[in-house]
A and B are shown apart, each in its own frame.
Chain A
Amino acid sequence: MVEKQPIVNELIDLVKMQERVWVRGGGSKPSLSANGGEIQFDLRRLSGLIEYDPGEYTFTAWAGTPIKEIAAVLAEHQQYLPFDPLFIEEGSTLGGTIVANTAGSGRYRYGGVRDFLIGIQFVDGRGELIRGGGKVVKNASGFDLPKFFVGSLGRYGVLVETTWKVFPQPFDYANIQVTYLSAADLQQASFALATSPLEMDVQDWMPQDDRWVLDIRMGGLPDVIPSRLERLTQFLNDHSQPVDFLIGRGPEETAKWRDQNSCRWQPNDTILVKIPLNPQKLTELETIIDRYPRRYTAAGNTAWVAVDTLDHLPRQLDAVGLTGLVLRGDQLDEPIIGRRKGMPLAQRVKRALDPNGVFGEV
């Protein structure tokens, strides 16, 4: 492994000397990585696995490591990051995934980036190297800075090293696409599933022509997947009005989710926006975005929409109390749009970690 300390020292010097520091990772979410300034530090220089013991369910890697490399090593031991980090094929890095908080379809079952990141080391705005969290899966010492950095957009420090919890990956998967006549019919099914003991790894929703598709992925032991699928089908028939079922298995099923977690459905020349919501607000949000290609992950808790303009969306989201994050397709001074919460607390942390605004404004 190439000795990385000189690169970390270079980063520290940069932060101490510059008034403003721009950092980029894999560039898979260009709206976040290049807004406004010349890049002075390419995080991919800090790349590589530092420590991985499969028996611990943890690994430590440099923040600029492409997740694709990590996923390949984990897969050799039948382990994975269950939240399906986005844009792996496009070169997303561990650090970029943390600060953008980009979890894909797998977020549904075991949680998102915040639920698997357990330790970080970062350079703060004063050029200090700070460690938060640790290398063990259970830890209540210190403030939970790893979680704080999730979604932080690099505005509080530059991540250098990251430690993650991983899980054993299911040995087999199946996909079942269930078509409904309307979003309301689909929601009826989803709400019934919410209080059922049936387990699924993914529950996505998407409009298709004038219908809605409930897209479920189920992982587990191969022997019982057929009977679990049968039971799920029966449950949906009993509790909702599906009009069609389509079951997928094998390599095609795997490829489908790979494409999904790269947002391949996003048309060229559109702007990709992530919008978290309570699915009970779906109807309200739909009136704003129903003319655009879109998909919902985590049982309707996250909307992904490909819009062709941002002229109205910020105001419209604010009006319904929602927040959006622009990920790809446009360069804005501020990629967070719509309603923002918790600012007084975020600003206080900013003053502590980056008092001179080396990493921009909050």
Chain B
Amino acid sequence: MDSIQFYQRLQQIFPDKRCLTRDVDLLPYESDALTAFRAKPAAVVIPENEEEVIAAVKLCYEAGVPFVARGSGTSLSGGSLPIRDGLVIALNRLNRIKHIDPEQRTAVVEPGVINLKITEAVERFGLYYAPDPSSQLICTIGGNVAFNSGGAHCLKYGMTSNHILGLKVVLPDGEVVEFGSSSLEGVGIGPDLIGLFIGSEGLFGIALEITVRLMPRPEVYRTVLAAYRDLETAGNAVAAVVASGLLPGAMEIMDRLALKAAEIAVKAGYPAGAEAVLIVELEGEKQQVEAEFVQLNEVIHASGAYEIQVAQNEAQRAKIWKGRKGAFSSVGRLSPDYVVQDGVVPRSQLGKALAEISRLSDAYGLDVANVFHAGDGNLHPLILYDGRVEGALEHAEKLAGEILRLCIRLGGTITGEHGVGLEKRDYMPELFSESDLEAMVAIRREIDPKMIANRGKKLPQGEAPALSSHGLHPLEKKGVISRE
């Protein structure tokens, strides 16, 4: 099938207004939230139902045209970046919440449903959808499934994969497969295909229908913010909380530079002069949380904090989190551009990792702000640079690479929640052995013999578009999405 025939067939499936081929229409799809990369697709189709998605995938398979599924395009690893001259299948119109079952605490949704919309739809039953990536105002559940998205509350309740019970997917050759169920057991018997599919970054096809697990809304939250004169003491406080036997919903640390940015942008009222602040949040049943809070207070007061703030009401809690969740977009106030990584280190290595990042920052002459999920060792170093200076992006990327290697050296991994995508695929051979990667490629080839689904991502192969600096994502500049 030549490209003219491919376009003709595409236009038989989609009306003109939902089959974009003009340059001006393709432009918004040329990159995702990893704005350093751009690639022009051959076309963008906007299906309105799963039959159209399946038809598009089948056509791609027949024609050997690579495709990428796209939700809101908030991937931070270039995961939804188009494949040059491939097809983008934009899923935003598959945004129906098909079924809510409050008694079983499940909902069945289409992939284009926005993460936060699920919670909004079920909160009248006292329920919520737990995974909370910072882009949850805009990112879609289909993207969350593809990338196994995380958030600030993963320590206690896990990532996306821990909250999906059933999937209906179209494989890259157009075959439709269903697995899992509406039981809390999910797959229950047989290999956990849900676990395999989630986080496969689009390489195994497209999720058409997703059964999510809902949780009862915690009755109360207790949120504490503690300020420290140095990062190491804040890190030690995390270890002390863990050693006390508490299991907080979230434990987050921000360093001086991140605090400065947050103060400028959202005036969160964080203590002045802090080198680091630690946010710890307990959540759950009232009596239990109040008793745990007494214990937490003792630990925090003994941890060397020079100032402690306790949220007395929901407004104060929201303010603490606003500063934290907005920290990344706030950094845009300090620097025209930045790159962010999301490597993970064992919690006990946090101090060592931060000291080394500080040394690297000096050596490269680039400021690095740190905001991280301390409870699970998930770093988010933001490397500040000025993209208007020639070579600055490459210099920042080089530093980012050193940080990823540091994470591997310390026993961690290159990504906690953003995924490998295009950005980190070249580091996979440093994390995995040749035989590990061969097994991954073998699985991929069996599932996608023509290797058309999100070709060039996740696995170290294929050709990358050239690196080029394009500044912050427009939504990021407005603080709607953030890179964490």
- A contact set with B: CB distance below 8 Å: 53-58, 78, 101, 107-108, 110-112, 114-115, 124, 128-132, 134-153, 155-156, 167-169, 171, 191, 194-199, 220-221, 223-224, 227-228, 231, 274, 276-280, 298-299, 301-302, 323-325, 336, 340-342, 344-346, 348-349, 351-353
Contact = CB atoms under 8 A, between A and B. Distances in A.
A197 B284 CA distance: 7
A228 B287 contact: yes
A77 to B, nearest CB: 9
B412 A136 contact: yes
A231 B219 CA distance: 13
Contact of A53 (B105, B180, B348): B348
Nearest to B432: A142
B188 A302 contact: yes
B105 to A, nearest CB: 5
Contact of A344 (B175, B189, B192, B199): B175
Given A197-B126, A352-B446, A55 B190 contact: no
Contacts of B127: 195
B177 interface: yes
Given A55-B348, A141-B432, A349-B196, 19 more contacts: A101-B192, A115-B158, A132-B436, A134-B413, A136-B345, A136-B411, A136-B413, A139-B415, A140-B147, A141-B424, A141-B431, A144-B195, A147-B194, A148-B191, A152-B190, A220-B288, A299-B184, A342-B187, A345-B171
Interface in B87-103: 101-103
A138 B376 contact: yes
Interface residues of B, number: 100
A8 to B, nearest CB: 13
A278 B439 contact: no
Interface in B338-369: 344-348
Nearest to A227: B287
B171 to A, nearest CB: 7
A143 B247 CA distance: 28
Nearest to B434: A128
B178 interface: yes
A167 B416 CA distance: 19
Contact of A196 (B126, B159, B197, B445): B126
A336 B420 contact: no
Given A136-B345, A139-B416, A145 B199 contact: no
B284 A199 contact: yes
A21 to B, nearest CB: 18
A140 B418 contact: yes
A124 B179 CA distance: 24
A69 B438 CA distance: 35
B318 interface: no
Contacts of A325: 189
B30 to A, nearest CB: 24
Nearest to A119: B413
Interface of B: 101-105, 125-127, 147-148, 150, 154-159, 161-162, 169, 171, 175, 177-200, 204, 216-219, 239, 242-243, 245-247, 284-288, 290-292, 295, 344-348, 373, 376-378, 411-420, 424, 428, 431-433, 435-436, 438-440, 442-443, 445-447
A130 B219 CA distance: 44
Nearest to B242: A55
Given A114-B192, A135-B346, A301 B155 contact: no
Given A128-B438, A280-B104, A144 B171 contact: no
Contacts of A171: 245
Among A301, A325, A351, which residue has the most Cβ atoms of chain B within 10 A?
Answer: A301
Contacts of A324: 189
B247 A146 contact: no
Nearest to B106: A278
Contacts of B285: 197-199, 228
B454 to A, nearest CB: 13
B183 A277 contact: yes
22 contacts: A56-B347, A114-B195, A132-B436, A135-B411, A136-B346, A137-B376, A138-B154, A138-B416, A141-B420, A142-B428, A143-B440, A147-B198, A194-B216, A280-B101, A336-B190, A341-B190, A342-B190, A345-B193, A346-B190, A346-B193, A349-B446, A353-B439
B188 A194 contact: no
A140 B193 CA distance: 16
Contacts of B419: 140
B292 A221 contact: yes
B189 A274 contact: yes
A298 B428 contact: no
B103 A141 contact: no
A346 B344 CA distance: 30
B185 A112 contact: yes
Contacts of A301: 183-185
Contacts of A298: 184-185
A341 B105 CA distance: 22
A352 B287 contact: no
A346 B101 CA distance: 29
Contacts of A149: 191-192
B195 A55 contact: no
Contacts of A220: 288, 291
Contacts of B346: 53, 56, 58, 135-136
A227 B291 CA distance: 12
Nearest to A51: B411
A139 B177 contact: no
Contacts of B187: 151, 341-342
B435 A129 contact: yes
Contacts of B150: 138, 140
B432 A115 contact: no
B189 A101 contact: yes
Contact of B219 (A197, A342, A352): A197
A127 to B, nearest CB: 10
A148 B180 CA distance: 12
Contact of B288 (A137, A142, A150, A228): A228
Contacts of B418: 140
B478 to A, nearest CB: 26
Contacts of B347: 55-57
Contacts of B104: 194, 278-280
A140 B291 contact: no
Nearest to B377: A136
A152 B187 CA distance: 11
Contacts of A130: 435-436, 439
A278 B165 CA distance: 11
A2 to B, nearest CB: 24
B192 A147 contact: yes
A278 B183 contact: yes
Nearest to B200: A143
Given A138-B344, A351-B446, A151 B291 contact: no
Nearest to A131: B436
